[in-house]
Amino acid sequence: MKAIILAAGEWSRLRPLTNTIPKPLIKIFGKSILEHNLEYICEHVDEIVIVVKYQKEKIIEALWDNYMWVKITYIEQSDEKWTGAAIRWIETDSDVLIMNWDSIFDRDDLEKLCKFSGYWVLVKKVKDPEKYWIFHLWNDGNIKQIVEKPKEFIGDLANLWVYKFDWKIIELAEQIQLSSRWEYEITDAINEFAKLFPFKAFEIQWEFIDVWYPWDVLSSNAHFLNKLSKSEINWTVEEWVTIKWNIVLEQWAVLKTWTYIEWNVFIWKNSIIWPNTYLRWNTVIWQDCKIWNAVEVKNSSIWDHTNIPHLSYIWDSVIWNNVNIWGGYITANLRHDSGNIKIPIKWELVDSGLHKFGVIIWDNTKTGIKCYSMPGRVVENNSMINPGTMIK
């Protein structure tokens, strides 16, 4: 069986995060979104085809020509738009596993789909089917068709965009016409496929993770940290460090004296946590970071090569690569009226659904001393923040 991974999109909802990295390479709990799912399927496929376009060089550089000894081939998507266009003209004579690279799925669900005989799609039962692509089933349980946001009730099984098909799905995708949105949509090929083959829906048994917006990085990390049943300490913990619950401490990472860690925390390679630091509640600190004296970090994701100096408080925040925060930075994370935090995405304020959220700071930003940020603010790439600034 051949796996086809659709990883060409720009994912503007994730900007400014995806200004500098394609979505498939966003790291969650030690691995990219791409690697999480590849790890689960690679035992069941003999080749992986990754359809790329946006920042394709970074995806190719990250994986090269194989993953766990399974060959990887890269195909650049043409200027034809959408998922139907992505699979047109791929050569295969075997069954295919096709995945939209939006989510991280549970190993058991993906492995069952791979092992099933016949042709299947992963689905999830939803309470509001009028918001989703919904599968309409025949009485025998086979799929009749898929309908986008049906106005009348035809079922409640929503498409999760992971399929096991006969190779003829490629041929059908080559025959579909442009939709009303002027896109080649895989759903049109699916409806033709369902006329030719028994095609069934498999309702997932476990949770899956969607990373739709930048703040979803936090809940995604929490998903894995909450499952951490024991500590994995692979480097240096100095004397008088307090660790409550479990941590992951990777190679060349150091916890210095008087560090206090509460709840599950992940610290990646070569990061140094200096004395009197307080880390808590689902914090992830990536590679080559320095968290200095008397800093508190709670429920945050701190990415590579970032420094957070003395007397700073980082709560419920996403801080990207190569950020240099000078001493005394404080993130506010709660509105005075206790309402949901709204965050600017694509020039619009989006309700995050979160009661608490701090700040999003993107690549290569520097702040002066004693800066502050109001809840839900976004600092763009390459920003220079003057000392004493309130980010409103």
Active site residue ranges: 310
- CA end-to-end distance (rounded Å), the chain: 52
Give the 3-state secondary structure of residue 95: coil
Rg (CA), the chain: 23
Evaluated on CA atoms 16, 74, 210, 243, the torsion sign reads negative
Parallel, antiparallel or unpaired: strands 348-351 and 342-345 = antiparallel
Do the beta carbons of residue 236 and residue 242 sit within 8 Å? no
DSSP symbols for 201-230: EEE-SS--EE--STTHHHHHHHHHHTT--S
Q: How far is CA 85 from CA 70, 75, 176, 177, in A?
A: 25, 12, 9, 10
Tokens found for residue 35: 């690697």
* Residue 196 DSSP label: H
Reported as half-sphere exposure (CB side, CA atoms, 13 A), residue 263 has a value of: 15
Give the 3-state secondary structure of residue 171: helix
With b for 16 or more beta-carbon neighbours within 10 A and e for fewer, the 297-327 pattern comes to bbbbbbbbbbbbbbebbbbbbbbbbbbebbb
Do the beta carbons of residue 116 and residue 224 sit within 8 Å? no
Q: For residue 261, with 0-12 CB atoms within 10 Å meaning exposed, 13-18 middle and 19 or more buried, which class applies?
A: buried
124 vs 176: CA distance, rounded Å: 26
Give the 3-state secondary structure of residue 350: strand
Evaluated on CA atoms 363, 266, 292, 236, the torsion sign reads negative
Tokens found for residue 332: 């506010």
